[in-house]
């Protein structure tokens, strides 16, 4: 057992398990559940909800590997993060966190998208986008699997295990939350808060022990088609969006705002490569002369609420996501849709 783990009380150390490097659930991290809960008793922690991409970092045998939530290697995309983790005195760990691009103190997903998917060093440098890795959890340390420890204990070890300087940051937390804390987060321009049970273990998959408290609604949607542009607009008019439910792609509406000229042109080129003849949606889409595509691209979209018909109200495109498989995109319901939720769609 390493020096840091030796400081654990015997009552906590008994939850440690031997870890084999590379055997962590890097492609299946713990996920938060969307919630409208605002009243929390003692025993919860509250972190800032960051608008970025989830990344797990593994250091073993002197080498660092960055992995997306789908298990894709990201070393070439974020080489400065690899360098920062390789410079750590601790040489054996797996951490969980979020990579973000900051702009005037706020996370900016559209800015981050200019770095996502880049793999050539000259393209990374030319993007001009600096990234920050906010680390918030510890899965492995000094040869031991730490997922069985309580969250508060994991965070204490994480704070001492690494040295934090740009571009590496420790995600701070509060011990009190609720309506006032969320209102303060929204006033700061944050996306919201993540509420976590202080005694929770790290378990793969979506969990009620981690809750997403959002200032506004955002989630991923599958792109199943598009409309042609009108007037002087380039690329396309709007993207046709959906989410999976019971093996069917349910239509969720269209989004036609949030695009700049470069995005319109680049995304149209991707859509043309994915063209198919048949509509992928389970419902009829009431758009004149829609163009259909293979439903493999995932868009991040902000919106105000769900309508009673299960469509998006006032959607705005934020960017493409390459860290989530299209087949995993489902409707996130936390009881926060202002216009109600259709029967059978909860």
For the ranges 26-35, 37-46, 51-60, 323-332, which has the lowest average pLDDT?
Answer: 26-35
Q: What is the reported pLDDT for 40? A: 93
Rounded to the nearest integer, the mean pLDDT of the chain is: 90
| Structure-model confidence comparison of residues 340 and 147, the more confident one | 147
**171 domain residue, yes or no:** yes
Q: Which residues, including other chains, have CB under 8 Å from residue 226's CB and lie 6 or more apart?
A: 236, 237, 238, 239, 240, 268, 271, 290, 291, 293
Tokens of 269: 């080129």
Q: What is the reported pLDDT for 24? A: 65
Which residue in 49, 155, 196, 254 is the catalytic one? 49
Q: What is the reported pLDDT for 338? A: 35
At 257, which CATH number? 2.40.50.140
Q: What is the reported pLDDT for 83? A: 97
**152 domain residue, yes or no:** yes
For the ranges 11-15, 169-173, 272-276, 328-332, which has the lowest average pLDDT?
Answer: 11-15
**53 domain residue, yes or no:** yes
Residues 197 and 132 in one domain: yes
Residues 179 and 39 in one domain: yes
Q: What is the reported pLDDT for 4? A: 84
pLDDT per residue over 1-21, tens digit each? 578 887 887 778 778 888 876
Average pLDDT over residues 143-172: 95
At 178, which CATH number? 3.30.470.30
Residues 120, 122, 128, 133, CA torsion sign = positive
**17 domain residue, yes or no:** no
Domain that includes residue 222, residue range: 217-328
Check whether 153 has a pLDDT greater than 80. Answer: yes
Q: What is the reported pLDDT for 21? A: 61
* Domain termination residue (choose one: 162, 197, 214): 214
Q: What is the reported pLDDT for 28? A: 78
Nearest to 228 by CA among 291, 165, 312: 291
Indicate if 254 belongs to the active site.
no
Cα 30 to the center of its chain, rounded Å:
11
State the pLDDT confidence band at 164, using cuts at 50, 70 and 90.
very high
Q: What is the reported pLDDT for 337? A: 34
**Of all residues in the chain, what percent carry a pLDDT higher than 70?**
94
Say how far apart CA 239 and CA 315 lie, in whole Å.
Answer: 11
Number of separate domains in the chain: 2
């Amino acid at each position: 057992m390493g020096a840091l783990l030796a400081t654990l009380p015997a009552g906590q150390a008994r939850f440690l398990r031997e870890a084999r490097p590379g055997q962590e659930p890097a492609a299946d991290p713990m996920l938060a559940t969307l919630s409208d809960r605002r009243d929390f008793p003692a025993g919860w922690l509250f972190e800032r909800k960051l608008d970025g991409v989830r990344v797990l970092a593994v250091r073993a045998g002197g080498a660092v590997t960055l992995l997306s939530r789908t298990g894709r290697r990201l070393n070439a995309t974020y080489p400065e993060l690899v360098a920062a983790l390789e410079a750590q005195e601790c040489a054996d760990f797996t951490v969980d966190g979020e990579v973000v691009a900051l702009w005037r103190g706020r996370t900016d997903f559209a800015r981050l998208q200019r770095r996502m998917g880049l793999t050539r060093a000259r393209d990374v440098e030319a993007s001009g986008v600096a990234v920050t890795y906010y680390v918030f959890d510890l899965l492995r340390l000094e040869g031991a699997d730490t997922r069985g420890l309580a969250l508060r204990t994991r965070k204490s070890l994480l704070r001492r295990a690494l040295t934090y300087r740009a571009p590496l940051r420790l995600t701070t937390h509060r011990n009190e939350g609720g309506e006032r804390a969320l209102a303060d987060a929204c006033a700061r321009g944050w996306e919201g808060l993540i509420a976590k049970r202080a005694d929770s273990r790290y378990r793969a998959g979506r969990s009620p022990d981690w809750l997403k408290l959002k200032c506004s609604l955002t989630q991923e949607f599958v792109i199943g088609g598009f409309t042609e542009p009108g007037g002087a607009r380039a690329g396309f008019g709007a993207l046709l969006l959906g989410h999976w439910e019971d093996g069917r792609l349910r239509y969720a509406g269209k989004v036609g705002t949030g695009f700049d000229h470069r995005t319109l042109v680049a995304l149209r080129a991707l859509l043309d490569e994915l063209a198919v003849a048949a509509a992928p949606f389970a419902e009829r889409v009431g758009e004149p002369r829609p163009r259909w595509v293979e439903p493999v691209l995932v868009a991040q979209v902000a919106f105000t609420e769900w309508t009673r018909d299960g469509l998006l109200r006032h959607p705005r495109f934020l960017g493409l996501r390459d860290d989530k498989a299209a087949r995993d995109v489902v409707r996130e319901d936390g009881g926060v849709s202002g216009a109600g939720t259709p029967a059978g769609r909860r």
